[in-house]
Amino acid sequence: MTWRHAAAGGAGGGGDGGASVRDATTAYAFWKPGTAGPGAHAADRDDSRALDLAGGAMGGDGGSRGGLPVDGMRAQVCYLVESHAVVLVAGETGSGKSTRIPAFLLDAGWANGGRRIAVAMPRRLAAVELAKHVAAMRGSALGGEVGYRIRFGSMVSRETRLVFATAGSLLSESLADPLLSRYSVVVVDEAHDRTLETEILLALLKRIRRARPDLRLVIISATLEVGPLVAFFSDPRPHAKLRDVTLLVVPGSSYPVEVVYVARPLANYQAYAVELVSWIHATQPAGDVLIFCPGLAVIRSLVAALEDRAYADMVAGIRPAAGSGVQMAIHALHAKLDVAGQRALFERKANVRRIIVATNVAESAVTLPGVVYVIDSGLVKRPTCSPVTGATKLTVTAVSKAEAAQRAGRAGRTAAGTAFRLYTRATHAALAPHAPPVVQTADLERLVLTLARLGVARVSAMQFVAPPSHGLVLGAQRRLVELGALEAGNHALTHDGFVMASLPLSAMAARALLAGSALGCGMEVLMLVAVLQVEPLFAGRAARVRAGQLALGAAEGDFLTYINAFVAFRGLEAAQRKEWAEERGLSLRALARAGQVFDKLMVAVSRVGIALPSIHVGGEGAAAMGPAEAGAVVLRALAAGFGKHNAARHVAGNVYKAVSDGAEVSVDSRSVVDLVETWPPLIMYADREAEASGSAEIVREVSAVESSSVLEQFNVGRAS
């Protein structure tokens, strides 16, 4: 296998493809630790051709050299916000836009008189870390002048004037305050990362401005591709005092990033990533490594492989490069990681090289200190939905050029770095310029339900930056009618739909909770729903995981097993929990986080008046599920919500056929169902994933279910 060298270039998230990225003349033979590898010698590099990569900026001190570019634009920013309804900011890497601009507005008095400024982020990692950074920058305690609000957690007080929030949390706030009346300015950061919640929020903000012309909007993007946003927010109607929209371009402050491609396609990118990390640690100067890979399952696999390789290298006597750190610390970063786990990623220790294995949550918004090497698999996991069958799944697919640029840019935030792309230059050239709009590919149940809760029955009446797929809207409306959230015909919100829209849960999980309340097992369903919001409970070595599953397992599958684990864990004294979890291959952090989510959900459920009776099941031991019929009652309630996610036994082994679209799916080998002697004829599942386009699909969090429970799902727990 050979590698080819290239310089990184391109201004803005339009990507680093095209003529600005050139193959270097040197091709490297594949290497082993201790031998020459890509870019190992100064004579082999062509740094004079390296250009700055543009990517998402934290706007903190990462990447800054004697101040940030936006610091000299304070007066201009404040003037534009004062004189325009909408200010679009296109800021390159290291510009300081994410932290400085909210602080400018705070100092300019936009949060005086009891008002607040909101900064909406697509992900909670960015919301929390940016709030911490700005609070520290201003010398205030987090939760005082500056705070954050995320799903299942917040740090705000009566004194808070600047709130960093996820877009979803701000949408939830709009359900109680449709005009977001407490906010004088709403900043939407990372607008190029258009999640479903961000798409809804942008549409809602445009609608709010018609009723609140005093509201100012600041839309921040890490790319210069802002044409659609300019067109969307331009208002043809004349306004007496304000101009409608303006664009401010802020230069970046990134370091040079050298991009390296493989010369030929890889048969196993995970194995090559492990080899590459081993080589970097053995031969390259100090600096942390950030690996982008698609999804939590791949992260778990890669972390285990890296741990094994690090041990093997130590036994073989392979020493790290001089000055690179004597130890290797391996971390995971993904959307379900709790705040404590995220915090550890921002704490560096002397003589330690960190290897951070991440999903696309690490592409932008925050600077992970010390990262100078990026390894990019070129893959991302996207949610997809069939407008015909309504089948939803997560599909591994190629990144866009803009996403590839964002990833490579992570290597140049605090020092000059190198981005290793585990795909060829020709593959990169064929990538799409940008990711497809999520409103045209994903399940739109949350979009339809949120709009209905806000009084918008017809989605077509709402303007979006990119119009939602008509077929996906119709499919979402049909499924919400089946779940009892919408009326048939006029699609008006039902009483149950109002309750479901008010909860920070998917429509399926909310319906299961209502059914559990009606069937006398609401408490147990809430336990499972809380567990499904966090990273996998079983996360240890395979032998311990299996031992734990046998100790806690319910023959029906993962759902009841998770309830057993949760009940048993909560019943222990705090001092006993760590050892107990380790012995059973359980993640102490995941169990603790599930408990926090459970407590938050208890509050949310009580606010909407859902009763939570308990059937008193769960725990460890032979009698964990109580009477035999108790577990069946819990599964009936779950089928009311997740019943559409079912599959029937197809052929020998673990292969099933999804009822929704007839696709063949395999049960995840980590499932408790895999331990049962006889495969159940019918299963339901929480998640369905395709590892690559056209590949076999896997279902995770699986449970056996009676066919009668699936058939009656539409009548369980309905409001009369």
> From the centroid of its chain, how far is CA 162?
23
Where do the structural domains in the chain lie, given as residue ranges? 2-55+254-429, 69-250, 503-715
Alpha-carbon gap, residue 436 to 429, rounded angstroms: 17
Alpha-carbon gap, residue 344 to 349, rounded angstroms: 10
199 φ, ψ (degrees, to nearest 5): -60, -45
Alpha-carbon gap, residue 397 to 441, rounded angstroms: 13
Residue 212: what pLDDT? 94
Residue 36: what pLDDT? 39
| H helix intervals, 322-469 | 339-344, 401-409, 425-429, 445-453
46 CB-near residues (< 8 Å, 6+ apart):
5, 7, 24, 25
- Beta strands 153-155 and 84-91 are unpaired
pTM of the model: 0.83
602 CB-near residues (< 8 Å, 6+ apart):
526, 612
Positions of the chain with pLDDT lower than 50, given as ranges: 1-66, 240, 622-623, 714, 720
Residue 22: what pLDDT? 30
Contact 201, 120 (CB under 8 A): yes
| H helix intervals, 584-677 | 588-607, 628-642
Residue 18: what pLDDT? 31
Closest by CA to 374, choosing from 297, 452, 293, is 293
15 φ, ψ (degrees, to nearest 5): 110, 170
Residue range 580-607, pLDDT digits in tens:
999 999 999 999 999 999 999 999 999 9
Closest by CA to 410, choosing from 534, 254, 634, 562, is 254
**Topology match between the domains 2-55+254-429 and 69-250:** yes
Closest by CA to 493, choosing from 482, 506, 505, 484, is 484
How distant, in Å, are the alpha carbons of 245, 521, 534, 602 from that of 595?
A: 45, 18, 10, 11
The CA radius of gyration of the chain, in Å to the nearest whole number, is: 26
Interhelix angle for 522-532 vs 628-642, to 10°? 60
- Decide: helix, strand or coil at residue 492: coil
Residue range 340-357, pLDDT digits in tens:
777 777 778 888 899 999
CB-facing half-sphere around the CA of 583: CA atoms within 13 A: 8
Q: What is the CATH number assigned to the segment(s) 2-55+254-429?
A: 3.40.50.300
Residue 573: what pLDDT? 95
List of long-range contacts for 232-241, beta carbons under 8 Å, 24+ apart: 232/202, 232/206, 232/463, 232/465, 233/85, 233/86, 233/88, 233/206, 235/85, 239/85, 239/213
* DSSP string computed for 209-227: HHH-TT-EEEEEESSS--H
Alpha-carbon gap, residue 22 to 11, rounded angstroms: 15
| H helix intervals, 433-541 | 445-453, 470-482, 495-502, 507-519, 522-532
Q: What is the CATH number assigned to the segment(s) 69-250?
A: 3.40.50.300
Sign of CA dihedral 224, 228, 229, 235: positive
Tokens of 86: 């909408």
Contact 262, 1 (CB under 8 A): yes
Tokens 């590892």: give the residue: 691
